[in-house]
């Protein structure tokens, strides 16, 4: 691999990690289990969901599709009740953040 390809790969990896960190930050505020990450639970409580979410957004998912994904996480994996408004708000913030030029 030449230096240019190596530099491009490093830049893409750095950008992807920045997107994952941005999604993690928003997911900590989503907090569907009311665990107050960083206070009552580990700060990284929801971080595991971020790579998949970044992938969905990177592939062009809609806010509604991401809202549905968050709902599935909330009601399926973490067994919490529905909160469609919160899931929609967080999905919209994630999509806007990840699609912005600043991430």
Which pLDDT value is given to residue 1?
55
Which pLDDT value is given to residue 8?
87
Give the residues of the chain that fall short of pLDDT 50.
none
Q: What is the spatial distance between Cα 56 and Cα 12, in angstroms, rounded to a whole number?
A: 17
Residue 55's closest CA among 100, 95, 102? 95
**Phi, psi (rounded to 5 degrees) for 66:** -70, -35
Which pLDDT value is given to residue 78?
64
Query: Do residues 73 and 66 make contact, with C-beta atoms less than 8 angstroms apart?
Result: no
41 beta partners: 37
Q: What is the spatial distance between Cα 66 and Cα 87, in angstroms, rounded to a whole number?
A: 8
């Amino acid at each position: 691999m030449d230096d240019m390809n190596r530099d491009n790969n490093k830049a893409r990896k750095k950008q992807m990690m920045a997107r994952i960190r941005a999604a993690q930050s928003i997911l900590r505020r989503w907090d569907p289990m009311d665990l107050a990450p960083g206070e009552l639970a580990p700060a990284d409580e929801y971080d595991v969901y971020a790579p998949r979410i970044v992938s969905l957004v990177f592939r062009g998912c809609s806010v509604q599709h991401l809202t549905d994904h968050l709902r599935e996480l909330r009601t399926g994996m973490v067994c919490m009740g529905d909160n469609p408004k919160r899931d929609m708000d967080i999905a919209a913030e994630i999509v806007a953040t990840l699609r912005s030029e600043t991430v």
